[in-house]
A and B are shown apart, each in its own frame.
Chain A
Amino acid sequence: MSDAGEEAVVAAYKSDPWVRLAPWVCTIGLFVVWEIAVRVLGVPYYILPAPSSVAYAAYEFAGGLAENSLQTLWTTVAGFLLAIVFGLALGLFIGWDRRIYAGLYPLMIGFNSIPKVAVVPILVLWVGTGWLPAVLTAFLISFFPIVVNVATGLATIEPEMEDVLRALGAKKLDIMTKVGIPRSLPYFFGSLKVAITLAFIGSVMSETVAANAGVGHMMLTAQANFEVPLVFACLIALAIEGIVMYAVMAWLEKRMTGWAHRSGFNR
């Protein structure tokens, strides 16, 4: 049934050009409505600048915007890569055994509940200001979904599958490498989409508090200088970076675990 549904969507995508155009129409439409609303209602630029003045500010400060965007991009990606390595390792460790899972899960939940903005001052205390707390905040905020997803993938192996292998004398390591780890990959790649957006939140948050570069820092400076259109230009730069990285992760997911999308794996 899910196959039929998916095929129907794909078919619609091919036969109906509007499905393909819809995201562009909506995005462009949003900016058009925004522009008209600001002009018609006469909203002052320091409350809500029109997209045209945001675009002009982006053009005017293009050099700084590009530089700071790159800064944010690399701190985010660095934190995200750390999160992948650490998240995979911890996820495998936690999912390995039910007792480890039970023991560490409450700690993980507790850690994840701490607002990371409250952690930034501690990080500054430990490592000073600059790019390092941004990388670490991105890491701390984004590793959680990776851990949980990998551990869940391992912990939900079908008991029959385990019986088949154990009756043949398979060791835990066999079951993990042949069933558990491949099985948890769709969960892992799915979690990357969530993790990358969280990583952006982490790095920008840290940049607004404790950095002298990056989009977060630039926004704060622009705000202090009352350059409201530039603040919005920064926001849009962040949104674009977020969308691009999300798309990369979605592509990667599709590429690596295509079988999970066609197999009714999660039924």
Chain B
Amino acid sequence: MSFVEIADVALRYAPQGGAEGTLAVDGLSLSVEKGEFVAVVGPSGCGKSTLMKLATGLNFPTRGSVSVAGRPVKGPVSIAGMAFQNPVMLPWRLTRDNVLLPLEVVQPHRRQMRARKAEYQAKADALLASVGLEGAGEKYPWQLSGGMQQRASLCRALIHEPELVMLDEPFGALDAFTREELWCVMRDLHAQKNFTTILVTHDLREAVFLADRIFVLSARPGRVIKVRDVDLPRPRPLEVTYEKQFTDIVHELRGLIAEARQ
């Protein structure tokens, strides 16, 4: 059984007012192996964010089944780390304390927070340093640039060593150069820690650069219309994005999504 297994899932949101609830996904099936990095792409409103909530146990399917790490998802999975387009840092906490937030919630760290404070802080600082944020732990998040906040947000998603990392367009609001820098940060973190990653994105180059496999979703209600293996060798340097093999995959995906939008 795969690490994340979504089998023939439909999800209809609760109706709002008089309108019937939106059918966000229907007949959605996908499976992700342990340690794999997959990307999910598709036209706007194809249920990518719904997929995030299904896999982390924040929403439950109307039909079908979802299982993570071999267990059916019945509630929040607790082994997931999440990062979003909006870094949502708490402005009254130092960046380091923002990164430590998951440890204050999730067991067994929650119990040990007081006793092992210094150790945890050192771990947060080390993690921040590994994404190029040496010394930023002592600053408030609003003293950091957008790109730096997003790096810190990635650290917050990883501090509790999650087995599953869910990324919802985490680089979408950044400028092109910062975005490519963060691709490399993400690539290195994944190579080093080997967590299972699901990246939801609109950016096809981002998907091809980072992922082992790419799922293309149809327009709403979303289902998988194509699974594309990315057989570019790792580690991938940024220059790979200018090679023909890379751009061919991007073109192919682009064609699929253009079709799906109609």
Interface residues of A (CB under 8 A from B): 158, 160-161, 163-170, 174, 178-179, 182-183, 185, 257, 259-260, 262-265
Contacts and interface: CB of A to CB of B under 8 A. Distances in A.
Contacts of B157: 164
A168 B106 contact: yes
A167 B82 contact: yes
A185 B166 CA distance: 31
Contacts of A259: 91-92, 140, 142
Contacts of B88: 158, 160-161, 164
A259 B76 CA distance: 32
B91 A179 contact: no
Nearest to B157: A164
A225 B156 CA distance: 71
A185 B93 CA distance: 14
A133 to B, nearest CB: 40
Contacts of B147: none
B95 interface: no
9 contacts: A163-B53, A164-B102, A165-B101, A166-B58, A166-B76, A167-B57, A168-B106, A178-B90, A259-B140
Is the contact region of chain A dominated by helix, strand, or loop, or is it mixed? helix
B102 A168 contact: yes
B53 A170 contact: no
A168 B78 CA distance: 4
B80 interface: yes
A65 B53 CA distance: 65
A185 B90 CA distance: 13
B101 A178 contact: yes
B90 A179 contact: yes
Is the contact region of chain B dominated by helix, strand, or loop, or is it mixed? loop
Contacts of B101: 164-165, 178
Interface of B: 53, 56-58, 75-78, 80, 82, 84, 86, 88, 90-92, 101-102, 104-107, 140-142, 156-157, 160, 166
B86 A158 contact: yes
Top-9 shortest CB links A-B? A263-B91, A263-B142, A167-B56, A169-B78, A170-B105, A160-B84, A168-B106, A168-B105, A160-B88
Contacts of A257: 92
B152 to A, nearest CB: 13
B85 to A, nearest CB: 8
Contacts of A164: 82, 84, 88, 101-102, 156-157
Contacts of B56: 163, 167
Contacts of A185: 92
B104 A178 contact: yes
Contacts of B102: 164-165, 168
Contact of A265 (B91, B106, B166): B91
Given A158-B88, A167-B56, A262-B142, 6 more contacts: A164-B82, A182-B92, A185-B92, A259-B140, A263-B142, A264-B142
Nearest to A170: B105
B170 to A, nearest CB: 11
A169 B76 contact: yes
A43 to B, nearest CB: 54
Nearest to B80: A167
A179 B157 CA distance: 17
Contact of A260 (B77, B78, B91): B91
Query: Taking each of A166, A257, A265, which has the highest tally of chain B beta carbons within 10 Å of its own beta carbon?
Result: A166
B130 to A, nearest CB: 20
Contacts of A165: 101-102, 105
A171 to B, nearest CB: 9
A168 B107 CA distance: 9
B30 to A, nearest CB: 19
B76 to A, nearest CB: 5
Contacts of B78: 167-169
A161 B105 CA distance: 13
B36 to A, nearest CB: 20
Contacts of B106: 168-169
A182 B141 CA distance: 16
